[in-house]
């Protein structure tokens, strides 16, 4: 009898082992992967998108960004207007009758967009979202445009200008990029001062801090759903933690005139940065960071690496602040997803979703979704690269790339035995819509 029990247990254990082995994920997808991909993509196309990051705009609107690209920057292959995908996008959106963007052909498209801009109203951009099944879209802008329906486009405002209140000649002289970027930051700061009825630089740091905090509060009241740092373009994303007295004496010394040393300016920025994210936590408004490669001739990859932010993201003082690291930290995408192990940190696939082709985006998304699927969001980074290839075509390119890439990543995982197709669709919904809807829904 004892022997029999022993045998039964052994048999049962053997059965368990066999069933575990059968259910364990395999390293290679099976022959069914293409069929699974087709089934998933059909469903994924039906998911309305929540776009975490865009620059929905006509190309000649100066409110579209707080900065601009310097003239000599080099573009990645896929974003050049020789990319035949853009003509396919223009066909899908507008019935563009050509297969290239030679100047004579591109005129057809430029005229169509100019006519839409002249016509006014919100129907044009709402129509673009409808065609691509985008439900809600965050728009990074200095101010929300009258041609964007605030029900569909939610405003993300820029805050870097608060880091540049002093004489900036030494900053601008650093390189050609800074010479273009910093005057624009000064303009945004002037605009915020006018908006807040602040006639000159406040007399002391307390006054400047009050101005900063009040501007954020008022921007949120005007519909702002997140604030954005493009700081990686101007300095390192590593922020030290200087005592207030030090920042106070720097402010006292330079708020009226005088050029601060590099270290003084940076120390002051490190302090004001912390005022900004503290206020974001109090207002429950997520903080966006450009954290990836960037345009320009002098962009520093090291400065933009998301790991620079680790001391801030893991600081218990900011546990209530929600951080969204835009552009997936690209090319540091594996570092990036591990930063989102913190419950208040999120990332999105914007920019990299059109820098690389879907075969590569699929691999990145496959790794992310296998680790922290609750923290990743879709972002288009739709941007007007020129008069012909506009934000409209980049919306198209980014949404098509993301839908096919996530379908490919999930099809492989299903075929490898990681989870069912039902789970796969649930994960796709989280990435394309639900994670963002939850984040910004909760922040209102």
Binding site for Zn ion (CB under 5 A): 381
* Smallest separation, CB 140 to Zn ion (Å): 6
The helix/strand/coil state of 419 is: coil
Q: Considering beta carbons, is residue 220 or 291 the nearer one to Zn ion?
A: 291
* Smallest separation, CB 298 to Zn ion (Å): 18
Helix (H) or strand (E) segment spanning residue 323? strand 323-326
Q: Considering beta carbons, is residue 381 or 392 the nearer one to Zn ion?
A: 381
322 with 286: CB under 8 angstroms?
Answer: yes
Q: Which residue is nearest to Zn ion (CB)?
A: 381
What phi and psi values does residue 30 have, to the nearest 5 degrees? -90, -175
Q: Considering beta carbons, is residue 214 or 300 the nearer one to Zn ion?
A: 300
How far is C-alpha 161 from the chain's CA centre?
19
Q: Considering beta carbons, is residue 44 or 137 the nearer one to Zn ion?
A: 137
* Smallest separation, CB 55 to Zn ion (Å): 6
Bridging pattern class, strands 224-229 and 49-54 = unpaired
The helix/strand/coil state of 136 is: strand
The helix/strand/coil state of 324 is: strand
Q: What is the DSSP string of 49-91?
A: EEEEEE----TT-GGG-SS---TTPPPPGGGSTT-HHHHHHHH
Q: Considering beta carbons, is residue 381 or 434 the nearer one to Zn ion?
A: 381
Q: Considering beta carbons, is residue 113 or 327 the nearer one to Zn ion?
A: 327
Spatial separation of the C-alpha atoms in residues 352 and 381, rounded to whole Å: 9
* Smallest separation, CB 351 to Zn ion (Å): 6
* Smallest separation, CB 148 to Zn ion (Å): 16
Q: Which residue has the tokens 């002249």?
A: 118
Spatial separation of the C-alpha atoms in residues 436 and 189, rounded to whole Å: 29
Helix (H) or strand (E) segment spanning residue 377? strand 376-377
* Smallest separation, CB 292 to Zn ion (Å): 10
Q: Which residue has the tokens 């960071």?
A: 289
* Smallest separation, CB 66 to Zn ion (Å): 11
Euclidean distance between the first and final Cα of the chain, in Å? 67
Spatial separation of the C-alpha atoms in residues 315 and 324, rounded to whole Å: 15
Q: Considering beta carbons, is residue 110 or 295 the nearer one to Zn ion?
A: 295
What phi and psi values does residue 443 have, to the nearest 5 degrees? -90, -5
Q: Considering beta carbons, is residue 293 or 414 the nearer one to Zn ion?
A: 293
* Smallest separation, CB 220 to Zn ion (Å): 21
The helix/strand/coil state of 290 is: strand
Spatial separation of the C-alpha atoms in residues 148 and 56, rounded to whole Å: 8
- Where are the extended beta strands (E) located within 68-212? 134-140, 153-158
Q: Considering beta carbons, is residue 255 or 290 the nearer one to Zn ion?
A: 290
Q: Considering beta carbons, is residue 54 or 267 the nearer one to Zn ion?
A: 54
* Smallest separation, CB 57 to Zn ion (Å): 11
290 with 315: CB under 8 angstroms?
Answer: no
* Smallest separation, CB 158 to Zn ion (Å): 11
CA 363, 369, 375 angle in degrees (round to 5)? 125
């Amino acid at each position: 009898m004892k022997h029999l029990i022993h045998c039964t247990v052994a048999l049962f254990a053997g059965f368990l082992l066999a069933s575990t082995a059968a259910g364990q994920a395999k390293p290679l997808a099976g022959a069914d992967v293409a069929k699974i991909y087709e089934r998933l993509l059909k469903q994924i196309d039906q998911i309305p998108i929540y776009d975490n990051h865009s620059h929905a705009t006509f190309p000649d609107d100066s409110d579209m960004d707080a900065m601009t690209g310097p003239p000599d920057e080099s573009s990645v292959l896929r974003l050049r207007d020789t990319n035949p995908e853009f003509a396919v996008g223009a066909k899908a959106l507008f019935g563009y009758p050509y297969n290239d963007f030679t100047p004579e052909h591109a005129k057809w498209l430029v005229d169509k967009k100019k006519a839409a801009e002249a016509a006014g109203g919100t129907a044009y951009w709402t129509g673009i979202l409808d065609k691509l099944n985008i439900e809600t879209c965050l728009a990074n802008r200095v101010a929300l445009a009258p041609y964007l329906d605030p029900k569909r486009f939610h405003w993300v405002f820029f805050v870097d200008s608060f880091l540049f209140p002093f004489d900036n000649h030494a900053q601008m002289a650093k390189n050609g990029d800074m010479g273009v970027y910093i005057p624009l930051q000064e303009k945004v700061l002037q605009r915020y001062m006018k908006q807040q009825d602040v006639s000159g630089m406040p007399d002391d740091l307390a006054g400047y801090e009050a101005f900063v905090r009040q501007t954020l509060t008022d921007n949120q009241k005007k519909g702002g759903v997140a604030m954005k740092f493009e700081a990686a373009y101007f300095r390192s994303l590593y922020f030290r933690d200087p005592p207030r007295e030090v920042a106070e004496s720097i402010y006292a010394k330079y708020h009226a005139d005088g050029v601060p040393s590099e270290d003084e300016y940076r120390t002051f920025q490190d302090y004001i940065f912390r005022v900004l994210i503290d206020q974001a936590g109090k207002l429950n408004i997520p903080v966006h960071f450009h954290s990836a490669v960037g345009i320009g001739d002098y962009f520093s990859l090291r400065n933009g690496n998301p790991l620079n932010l680790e001391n801030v993201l893991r600081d218990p003082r900011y546990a209530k602040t929600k951080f969204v690291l835009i552009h997936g930290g690209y090319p540091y995408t594996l570092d990036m997803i591990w930063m989102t192990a913190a419950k208040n940190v999120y990332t999105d696939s914007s920019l990299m979703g059109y820098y690389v082709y879907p075969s590569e985006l699929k691999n990145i998304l496959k790794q992310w979704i296998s680790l922290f699927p609750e923290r990743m969001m879709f972002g288009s980074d739709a941007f007007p690269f020129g008069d012909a290839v506009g934000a409209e075509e980049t919306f198209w390119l980014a949404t098509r790339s993301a839908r096919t890439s996530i379908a490919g990543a999930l099809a492989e995982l299903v075929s490898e035995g990681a989870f069912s197709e039902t789970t796969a669709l649930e994960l796709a919904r989280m990435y394309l819509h639900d994670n963002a809807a939850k984040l910004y829904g909760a922040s209102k």
